[in-house]
Structure 1
């Protein structure tokens, strides 16, 4: 199995497959009501919509880096404000997150095998996650999705 196939299989497993640790990311998100998405529980810094927006931003940023763009924070910022509750906006956010991951999956599938262990275009910066190999970049996003999916599930239990 090629690196592209391995990474895509890992990404698809956590997004829509049957990961060993519990529900996949899309099942978690699809079971969140609009009302729960914008409620911030006492003591929490972010609501569910804000976390999904954060995940979307880093998916888009990873896609841009895979296409050779210089690294930075996501265009909307690391923790963009999800704004006021809006049911249409919530559905658009969920659909945008799924589309962004589908786009990234296509880029991973077509990525040259001999380039996976090459460093990205940037110097090492731990805060931004730059200066790693393309493989580490995608593995990092997968880990990021798993981490925040757990937060989404917990927050939904609290407010849902």
Structure 2
């Protein structure tokens, strides 16, 4: 199995399949009301909408890196502010998450196999995840999705009991 196929399969499982650890990202996100998406339980730093915007931003950044751009913080910012609660805006945030991951899946499937072992463009910066291979970046982003989907599930449980 190629690196592209392995990463694509892992991404698809995490996003919409049946990963071994529990519910997929989309099954968690699709169960969130817009009211819950904007609520910030006591002690929480972020709300669900903000976490998803963070996930979208980093997905875009990893695709930019795969496209040869120098590593930096996401164009949208590391933690974009989701603004005031708005049902339509919440739908757009969820649609953005799904669309950016469709694009990521395409990037992964079409990424040249020999490039997976090359380092990402940019100076070594552990916080930005630079100096690592493209394979490590893509794998790390999938792990990032898992980590934040668990946060989302916990915040939703705190809000809705």
Q: TM-score under structure 2 normalisation? A: 0.98
Aligned-pair distance for 1:122?
Answer: 1.4
Q: Residue deviations 1:1-56, cap 9 Å, x none?
A: 11000000001110000000100000000000111000000010100000000001
Asked whether 1:104 is paired with 2:104, we answer yes
Distance 2:123 2:135 in 1: 16
Equivalence for 1:35: 35
Report the 3-state secondary structure (helix = DSSP H, G, I; strand = E; otherwise coil) of the residue aligned with 1:18: coil
Distance 1:45 1:114 in 2: 40
Equivalence for 2:154: 154
Equivalence for 2:54: 54
Distance 1:62 1:56 in 2: 10
Aligned-pair distance for 1:124?
Answer: 1.4
Distance 1:10 1:123 in 2: 28
Q: Which runs of 5+ in 2 are unaligned?
A: none
Equivalence for 1:70: 70
Distance 2:21 2:110 in 1: 29
Distance 1:102 1:44 in 2: 30
For these two proteins, the number of residue pairs brought into alignment is: 160
Distance 1:41 1:153 in 2: 13
Cα RMSD of the aligned pairs, angstroms, is 0.6
Aligned-pair distance for 1:76?
Answer: 1.5
Distance 1:11 1:79 in 2: 22
Distance 1:26 1:152 in 2: 11
Distance 2:83 2:29 in 1: 18
Equivalence for 1:81: 81
Aligned-pair distance for 1:120?
Answer: 1.1
Asked whether 1:90 is paired with 2:99, we answer no
Aligned-pair distance for 1:123?
Answer: 1.8
Report the 3-state secondary structure (helix = DSSP H, G, I; strand = E; otherwise coil) of the residue aligned with 1:126: coil
Q: Which runs of 5+ in 1 are unaligned?
A: none
Q: TM-score under structure 1 normalisation? A: 0.98
